Structure 1
């Protein structure tokens, strides 16, 4: 069976290239789609319905560099696709981590000596996340063996990666069992992109999401759940994450030009926007918002 995800990325490669480019490498919540032990998910039988765990890639063709946002359980295929589009090989020139939940950092294991045996791959994160990796096995082995080189970012301080590309981390409220949670601003020569795959609630953040959307051209936001009816038998009020429906309501009175900046990402296997033909997907698009899909490309 033809892998529809690979087909989408191959189609993206055939599109005109730009000097600094972002590509969506994954869109699903930490467990991916299909998720473990969900036996009746149609994605087991249909590769075209599979969704990889949330990740972005950024390529600077002038500098000959590429960067990965999140080291997910799908790290192997995501790095392969990023390298194919950048026409490069080896470890990324930087890996940016938002936080210490399984879908966002566990792919680092493949940089170890049992697999890739990378040489000092730069890994960028806020301080608590870096300390978690440095102080806990098996991740500390990656540090000791110099498979990774921890680059500690300070919130709100821009890191210049190339003359055309910079990244700024900022902290967002989200469960911090082991580390804080970051969002990232990625700025290229022409526009800036925000990446917030996980946050508890917009109201708990000391920054207004309305201001973030107004100040940046593209904003990838947490879309773990569509609404409060998604998990029968569960009290969803006890499960944080802004619902897609809630975020749309928050921005519904904004101009169309503002609404179209929002791209929903990090959707759970239960979220019907994973299906491109679902009524919920059509509702999101009809209301002027967008849904991130694998293979999507943006010239920065």
Structure 2
């Protein structure tokens, strides 16, 4: 009996070892992105939502999605960085840590702007939570001032839980010998801070991260030109189409996915494959696996960001 038990234990250990090795095979040996979340600021399901889009998550929690964020991992140096600190920060840092060795938190966090889904996660770095020590937080000037002069964020600064690192628009910041980051200003509802997207450079490759922007035509730059220049483009897809919510959508301007696809229809198939739509409102049908909307996007040659997916950079 004891021999059988021992053999069973050995068998189980071998199975887990094989699974772990198989997982390691699937992780790139070069820098890559991990999609940490795909939902709009308030997550999915959204608070007090009684629509069918949210009700179905109450009986099937596997449909829930965390707030939009991506992680960048450099397996060569065992470094990682997070883009935006969301209300799901605790779960997302845990998820990102599974792709590095002996690290519970990233090596730095890049914030895009001052809306709740993009920076409030840094509260978990404070004394009420992990009480971090000088976590590098990369911000633009207005964002930096906002955090320094408004509580409770200012307490994170004075307690040295975070260390604010100033960024300058269109100026490259070198993270290591392979990777550099360049913030680019984009038009958005800048009540408290400016809004940026990020150009992420890895040797000869480039990625673009713009989770929040007003209509593309409001920008003084061409998103089409940027797509042609990069290898990966994570782009704002908050709403799929006009009329999606029961309020004036001019109050919350975003490029509808239908509008973006029309704008991008002249791109080559290779350029279309670079695009990963992200940052979905709870009403956006792209949150539904196998939906008609998802099929339409894929048929036209574009990608949809999926939580916990790896995208080689």
**TM-score range with shorter-chain normalisation?**
over 0.9
1:298 pairs with 2:308:
no
Q: What's the offset of the Cα at 1:79?
A: 0.3
For 2:295 and 2:306, how far apart are their aligned partners in 1?
A: 14
Structure 1 residue 37 corresponds to structure 2 residue 51: no
Q: CA deviation at 1:88?
A: 3.0
Q: Which has the larger radius of gyration?
A: 2
**Alpha-carbon spacing, 1:127–1:165, altered in 2? closer, same or farther (3 Å):** same
Residue aligning to 2:264: 251
Q: Is the 8 A contact 1:12 1:297 kept in 2?
A: no
Which residues of structure 1 form unaligned runs of 5+? 1-10
Contact 1:96–1:123 (8 Å) recurs in 2:
yes
Cα distance in 2 between the residues matched to 1:253 and 1:178: 36
Q: Report how many residues are paired.
A: 290
Q: How does 1:72-221 map to 2 (within 5 A)?
A: 72-221=86-235
TM-score by length of 2: 0.89
* Residues 12 and 296, structure 1, Cα contact 8 Å, conserved in 2: no
Of 28, 32, 36, 2:39 maps to: 28
Per-residue Cα deviation, 1:135-190 (whole angstroms, up to 9, x for no partner): 10000000000000000100011111011111111110000110000100111134
Gaps of 5+ in 2: 1-21
1:12 to partner: Cα distance: 6.6
TM-score, length-scaled by structure 1: 0.93
Deviations 1:198-233 (A, max 9, x none): 0011011111001100100111110000010312x4
Structure 1 residue 192, shift from structure 2 partner: 1.2
SS of the aligned residue for 2:221 comes to coil
Distance 1:13 1:131 in 2: 42
**Offset from partner CA, 1:24-68 (integer Å, 9 cap, x none):** 100000010001101452112212211100001011122221111
Kindly indicate whether residue 247 of structure 2 is the aligned counterpart of residue 234 of structure 1: yes
Deviations 1:64-112 (A, max 9, x none): 2111111000000100011111123233211000000000000000000
Residues 230-277 of structure 1, C-alpha deviations (whole Å, 9 max, x = no match): 12x423244300000000000112211111111100010000001121
Taking a change above 3 Å as real, the CA distance of residues 134 and 127 of structure 1, as seen in their structure-2 partners, is: same
Q: Which residue of 1 aligns with 2:4?
A: none
Match of 2:292 in 1: 279
2: distance between equivalents of 1:149 and 1:187? 23
Write the distance in 1 (CA, Å) between the matches of 2:201 and 2:121.
Answer: 25
For the 8 Å contact 1:200–1:240, the answer to whether it is kept is yes
1:268 aligns with 2:281: yes
Kept after mapping to 1: 8 A contact 2:29/2:76:
no
Aligned-residue offset at 1:20: 1.3
CA contact (8 A) 1:129 1:178 kept: yes
Contact map agreement 2:143 2:193 (CA 8 A) in 1: yes
Asked if 1:19 is matched to 2:19, the reply is: no
Instruction: Quote the Cα distance in structure 1 between the aligned partners of 2:160 and 2:105.
Output: 13
